[in-house]
């Protein structure tokens, strides 16, 4: 049972790597972004509450986000990998009260690379699979290879929202990194490298946990 937090700027590959890790270690992939997007798609009360924040690329209020994570972790009976949570110090401290984190992995990339990756990203409207128009195009334009769903550009992958999300990330990340350095669980990876290389590097660290 391993409990992992994935940190990194939008576009650093958190979602992709989290899916790979969840499969290999048979742990639960918990993405707050996916939870919110699914709720918006299904027009739930939660979805209605959070839709405007996601559209603008702003953070959903802590009280709401923390309550969702607490609830999700309570139901989680195996290890987990958190993708997109925590996003600020408040959330980091709250997480500590519900789960002990074995490893916080920081996927590091530059702003320029993040903008390039996000603006070309296309996401499946049905299964959340992620493609890139240049580096990982679908076989058929705008159609998901996995489920034939329609590929869309997320509202928050449009230029103004991307800039907003990166600015928020930069304001909030250092205290989170400091917190995990203090706990001696932080590991940083160069996420500009190939997906399989980054994945292997993370697996080595997880395997070393014993």
∠165-120-11 over CA atoms, to 5°?
40
Min dist. Cβ of residue 210 to ligand AMP (A): 29
For the beta carbon of residue 170, count every other beta carbon within 10 angstroms: 11
Interface region with ligand AMP, contact rule CB under 6 A, candidates 52-60, 95-103, 171-179, 180-188: 52-60
Looking at 16, 17, 39, 91, which residue binds ligand AMP (CB under 6 A)? 91
Min dist. Cβ of residue 128 to ligand AMP (A): 9
**Does the annotation mark 14 as catalytic?**
yes
58 DSSP assignment: P
Written as one string, the DSSP assignment of 73-138 is: HHH--S-EEEES---SHHHHHHHHHH---SEEEEEE--HHHHHHHHHTEEEETTT--EEETTTB--
**Does the annotation mark 150 as catalytic?**
no
**Please, are residues 170 and 8 in contact by the beta-carbon 8 Å criterion?**
no
Pair of tokens at residue 46:
């939660």
Of residues 37, 87, 117, 122, which has the active-site annotation? Answer: 87
In this structure, are strands 151-152 and 121-124 parallel, antiparallel, or unpaired? Answer: antiparallel
Looking at 165, 166, 180, 202, which residue binds ligand AMP (CB under 6 A)? 165
> Is residue 54 close enough to count as binding ligand AMP by CB under 6 A?
yes
By C-beta, is 60 or 151 nearer to ligand AMP? 60
144 DSSP assignment: -
By C-beta, is 54 or 107 nearer to ligand AMP? 54
Mapped onto helix, strand or coil, the DSSP state of residue 179 is helix
**Does the annotation mark 194 as catalytic?**
no
Give residues with Cβ within 8 angstroms of 135, minimum separation 6. Answer: 117, 120
Min dist. Cβ of residue 207 to ligand AMP (A): 26
> Is residue 92 close enough to count as binding ligand AMP by CB under 6 A?
no
**Does the annotation mark 41 as catalytic?**
no
Q: In the complex, which residue's CB is closest to ligand AMP?
A: 33
Looking at 16, 39, 65, 92, which residue binds ligand AMP (CB under 6 A)? 65
Q: What are the catalytic residues?
A: 14, 87, 121, 154, 165
Name the site residues for ligand AMP (rule: CB under 6 A): 10, 32-33, 36, 53-54, 57-60, 65, 84-85, 87, 91, 156, 165
């Amino acid at each position: 049972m391993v409990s992992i937090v994935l940190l990194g700027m939008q576009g650093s590959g958190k979602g992709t790597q989290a899916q790979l890790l969840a499969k290999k270690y048979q742990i639960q992939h918990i993405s707050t972004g996916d939870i919110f997007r699914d709720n918006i798609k299904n027009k739930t009360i939660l979805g209605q509450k959070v839709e405007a924040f996601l559209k603008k690329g702003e953070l959903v209020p802590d009280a709401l986000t923390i309550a969702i994570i607490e609830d999700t972790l309570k139901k989680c009976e195996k290890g987990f990998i958190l993708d997109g949570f925590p996003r600020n110090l408040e959330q980091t401290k709250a997480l500590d009260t519900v789960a002990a984190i074995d490893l916080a992995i920081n996927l590091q990339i530059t702003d320029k690379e993040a903008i390039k990756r996000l603006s070309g990203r296309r996401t499946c409207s049905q299964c959340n699979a992620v493609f890139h128009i240049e580096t990982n195009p679908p076989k058929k334009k705008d159609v998901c290879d996995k489920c034939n769903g329609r590929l869309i550009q997320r509202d928050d992958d449009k230029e103004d929202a991307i800039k907003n999300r990166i600015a928020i990330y930069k304001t909030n990340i250092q205290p989170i990194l400091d917190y995990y350095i203090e706990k001696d669980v932080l590991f940083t990876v160069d996420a500009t490298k190939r997906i399989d290389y980054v994945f292997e590097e993370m697996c080595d660290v997880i395997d070393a946990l014993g």
